[in-house]
Structure 1
Amino acid sequence: MDESTLPRPGRVLAIGLDAAESTLVRRLIEAGEMPASKALLDRGSWSRLTSPTMFSSGSVWPNFSTGCQACDHGQYSIWNWDPAQMALAYTDESRLTPFWKSLSEDGVTVGVMDVPFAPFLGLPTGFEVHEWGSHSRVDGRVSTSPAGVTRDVSQFATHPFTDPLATVPVEPSEVGPFLDECIHGVRLRGDLAHRLITQEQPDLTLVVFEESHHAGHFLWHTVEPELPMYADLAPAALPERTLVDLYKEMDRQIGRLVEAAGPETTVMVFALHGMAPSRGLPPVLEPLLDGLGMTHVEERLDRRAVLAAVKERMPAVLRDLYRRSVPLARRSQWGKSKLLPAYDWSRTRAFALPIEQYGLVRINLSGRESQGIVPPEEYAPTCDTIEAALRELTTVDGRKVVQDVVRPPRGRHAAGLPDLVVHWSQAAFESPSCVDGVEIPNIRREQTGQHAWDGFCITSGPAAAAVSGDVVDGVDLHRYVLGALGR
């Protein structure tokens, strides 16, 4: 970024379209179906954004908000491994410091709405709306500031994602209503953001539409219905409206927010990562590691089975009351024991972390894990053995299950990161996998979209020339925001 090209300090409107697929956005712009975005692009520029999605989608927003890589901020999931406790630790957003904190302290008026994995700061000016309609709820409650904004939000319609009983589609008949809710959420977010921008006129406004992420995981098949992996979907899973309609609605809201911000404002519309086709997840890591003799479970009833049985027998009315009355963070802490088997750490050399998109493998390393048994000199050979076995996995029709195995970079906060990250091939979404001669069907097959690596950024307005570039690392994007503010 050439600071000499910057005009006088101005206002910035940054609109995040969470996990919106860049190729689809570009296609719709070129077809004239996203006119507000096209108008911005005609007056500005398009950049490709890169991110650490290749080893964790849960790192992309913390990378943006902190300006650090995952190996330095340590965040990769809602559940992060704690090697001292030999357990999963629920994420603590408060340990992350977003770049807008210092801006606010320096007198810059900031408006922030639903930046994923960012902490609630309690901004004294502007507006702050946290978990009002989030894809990944961490606190499980809406937080707002200052007091006037809290009053406004309390009088506003409730976002459909805020309901503790909100669910994602499992049955084909639920896909259409789910999409309707997501599109309604886009409209509500646009309405609330428009009101707050108009009232508060912040120097920096950062609004994230999380509906594109939430919908993308369960509606990507409406974009590419002809793919073989979707061949067995019921007709009810293909509603009249599609994910494209949600993108069009986001574009309408972009136009409204740009108008509210005013012509003197530099506008950035961006997605840190995208969306691609998938069909569930192949649960092959635990059986593969077991077959290699890497994992051993304590010889008692698996606590996950006990919890699942208790939950299954609980009357629906009590389950709903529990979800409405107990905070999400507390429920998550109580339920974390079902996420991992009861490993015998004295005999476990490697184990699988909870699967979100990619497969995550952790080595039980001596000197790092409190109960580690793998000597440091055996770390690399152990990783090599597991990687070789993964690359040999095939589907029942003989195709490779694994596309790649990535080893994340290490850093000052890398102690809890996975050691191996497994990327699945497209074949893994089309046919069951096979481990030691046993056919293993995919789980969560209602999920038809997965994260894609690349994002995009459209920049337009007074400081557009200073914040453009053919390729931008997501970790650096906030620096372009600061540059546009003249900071």
Structure 2
Amino acid sequence: MKTPVVAIGLDAADPAILEEWMAQGHLKNLNRIRQQGAYGRLENIVNYCGVPTPAASTERLWAMTWTGCMPDQTGFWGTSKFYPESYGIDREMTKVGCDFEQHPPFYALGNDYRVFVLDPPTSGLSSQVNGLQVLAWGGHYPFTPSVSVPADLLPQMIQEYGENPVLYKDDGIWWDKAYEKWVPGAIKRSVETRAQVCRDYLKKEDWDFFFVGFGEAHTAGHDLWYTHSDHPVYEYHGKPAGPLMLEAFEDIDRAVGEILDAAPENAYITVFSPHGMGANYTDLLSMAVLPEMMYRWNFGKAAIAPGNPDEAPGKLISHPHRKSWMGEMWARNYEDNPIKRALRPWLPSRFLRDRLNGLESPYVLMDQEAPLFWMPAMWYRPLWSQMRAFALPYFADGHIRINVQGREGNGIVPPSEYDAVCEEVIEKIWKLKDARTGKPIVRQISRTRRTPFEEGKLSDADIVVVWEEVITDVVDSPDFGRIGPIPHFRAGGHRSRGFFMAQGPGIAPNTTLNQGQALDIAPTILNLLGAPIPERLDGKPMLESGVVRSAAAR
């Protein structure tokens, strides 16, 4: 006899902050599951040229969760595809997303298992699922279309429960008072409606596997982390705002409790997140600092946010006046004319549409509906064909592409010089430091291929930079001078750590699991379901098989 599994995905909920809050007496339902069952942390890596490298990218880790496979098996490394012949960037989900028919999610179990899934991030519809699939009713930019099986299920759900108040709307910024007033209420409404959907559908049928994803945890982390005391703008904005992030997670915890009450008494309950969140130290470095450093390395001059390394960095930018981070960053594109330079930060956007220092205006890119038009890395794209190496747009780690003859459309670097250029770039990056503290900001640098023409399911980047957890707004290089200060962007940024907890038949209270990875979630849940674990999976079960066998015998 099968034991049902109810799985709850708390997207980007960080184990460190959850543990902190539980120790303080908060999140009582999550703490109850932890105490009555098993709990452990996840720490994620991927392999570049056989070198283990920390991995914190949301979409990649969720795809690894569903498939149980490494990216070098699925070919899905991230949400952007680089076209070397044209230097183009594509983010169309159907073109760059994981192929879930070729690499089905673990819950695609065929006719023997009835399945319900609601809002699995970065998943896809699978013809091998026997049950109901609802993708992107809600979520934080879930990188999947809003679709369902059967096709009329999602429209019916919207008619009954309403449109999700957060979906594709949670992209504001910490200094926007109207947005920061809106987002906590939107999170609360979304969580409460999600809990109602789960209660209703748990009553409709005896599901073998029931999954719901809480993208609201992701939204709260990105948007409200400035209300946690470790964020640089906490004293200016977070402290006066109050504990908004904790309040959002208390709402999520109450919803978890309601799902527990509605779940079958004999069910396994699992709660997990493949990755976490903390005060954001990656956005500025990967999206802005690294592209600017590569520009200076290629052209010997500065574009964005030049500063004087012989002077103190100056105060943190605590009260930006433009409506967007994009606008703040573009206004910092250096203007030679001193009068124009003085006026530029205050000019309306309609006067900031011209190329400057060879960079394309984001306002022009926005009109063209270009992908990632708001990210500084994309503004350098008109120059990529003229550069020996350049930074690709990316969210977590820094990604660098070498402009190789015979590979790129207008390649500059001869293949014989590929190694030398890679090593020169790496040597320059290692020297970057936080100008406020003097601390190094680079944790690890990995090369992704041995030769520029190496075949296989490889990352578009030739070099991947993993940053130290040093939160900075101004960076010094002995070779290229100072970049910054620049305004902080999203308050929360991703971490490679996640967690997994489970309670149910045969799982002893207060069990501590060995450290796992996102890859291990699929085989662990398959084990609980009593389903076979495909040999193609790279992950391993985190719970001993004896636990599952003893439960099945009851």
Question: Normalising to structure 2: TM-score of the pair?
Answer: 0.72
17, 32, 49: which one aligns with 1:24: 17
Structure 2 Cα separation of the partners of residues 434 and 131 of structure 1 = 41
Q: Which moved more, 1:49-58 or 1:176-185?
A: 49-58
Corresponding residue number in structure 1 for 2:166? 161
Q: Which moved more, 1:186-195 or 1:474-483?
A: 186-195
* C-alpha distance 418-107 of structure 1, shift in aligned 2 (>3 A): same
**Cα contact 1:284–1:433 (8 A) shared by 2:** yes
**Cα contact 1:67–1:99 (8 A) shared by 2:** no
Corresponding residue number in structure 1 for 2:467? 424
150, 163, 184: which one aligns with 1:179: 184
423, 434, 439: which one aligns with 2:476: 434
1:200-279 aligned within 5 A: 200-224=205-229, 229-230=232-233, 233-234=236-237, 238-278=240-280
Structure 2 Cα separation of the partners of residues 474 and 310 of structure 1 = 36
Instruction: Give yes or no for the alignment of 1:11 onto 2:13.
Output: no
Structure 2 Cα separation of the partners of residues 27 and 232 of structure 1 = 20
Structure 2 Cα separation of the partners of residues 414 and 106 of structure 1 = 32
CA deviation after TM superposition for structure 1 residue 366, in Å:
4.6
CA deviation after TM superposition for structure 1 residue 401, in Å:
5.1
124, 131, 140: which one aligns with 1:135: 140
Higher RCO (CA < 8 A, seq sep 6+): 1
Which whole-Å deviations, capped at 9, do the CAs of 1:50-73 have from their partners, x for residues lacking one?
224834513100111122212332
CA deviation after TM superposition for structure 1 residue 179, in Å:
2.1
**Cα contact 2:432–2:476 (8 A) shared by 1:** yes
Corresponding residue number in structure 2 for 1:96? 100
1:405-424 aligned within 5 A: 405-407=444-446, 414-424=457-467
Structure 2 Cα separation of the partners of residues 77 and 240 of structure 1 = 35
Instruction: Give yes or no for the alignment of 1:77 onto 2:78.
Output: yes
Which whole-Å deviations, capped at 9, do the CAs of 1:390-413 have from their partners, x for residues lacking one?
121234446145222332656975
Q: Which moved more, 1:190-199 or 1:449-458?
A: 190-199
Instruction: Give yes or no for the alignment of 1:402 onto 2:457.
Output: no
**Cα contact 1:83–1:415 (8 A) shared by 2:** no
1:285-324 aligned within 5 A: 285-293=290-298, 301=355, 305=360, 308-309=363-364
CA deviation after TM superposition for structure 1 residue 17, in Å:
0.7
CA deviation after TM superposition for structure 1 residue 473, in Å:
1.7
Instruction: Give yes or no for the alignment of 1:477 onto 2:521.
Output: yes
Structure 1 Cα separation of the partners of residues 279 and 374 of structure 2 = 29
**Cα contact 1:289–1:351 (8 A) shared by 2:** yes
Corresponding residue number in structure 1 for 2:66? 65
CA deviation after TM superposition for structure 1 residue 420, in Å:
2.2
CA deviation after TM superposition for structure 1 residue 124, in Å:
7.0
Which whole-Å deviations, capped at 9, do the CAs of 1:84-117 have from their partners, x for residues lacking one?
5532122433623454477343432111111221
148, 153, 157: which one aligns with 1:149: 153
Structure 2 Cα separation of the partners of residues 414 and 400 of structure 1 = 35
Structure 1 Cα separation of the partners of residues 164 and 111 of structure 2 = 32
**Cα contact 1:114–1:129 (8 A) shared by 2:** yes
Letter in 2 for 1:386: V
Residue segments in structure 1 that go unaligned for 5+ positions in a row: 1-7, 315-329
* C-alpha distance 381-159 of structure 1, shift in aligned 2 (>3 A): same
Instruction: Give yes or no for the alignment of 1:379 onto 2:418.
Output: yes
Corresponding residue number in structure 2 for 1:318? none
Corresponding residue number in structure 2 for 1:326? none
**Cα contact 2:226–2:234 (8 A) shared by 1:** no
Letter in 2 for 1:441: G
User: By percentage of residues, which structure has more helix?
Assistant: 1
**Cα contact 2:291–2:380 (8 A) shared by 1:** no
SS at match of 2:395: coil
**Cα contact 2:272–2:499 (8 A) shared by 1:** yes
Structure 2 Cα separation of the partners of residues 241 and 420 of structure 1 = 39
Letter in 1 for 2:2: P
**Cα contact 1:115–1:208 (8 A) shared by 2:** yes
* C-alpha distance 31-212 of structure 1, shift in aligned 2 (>3 A): same
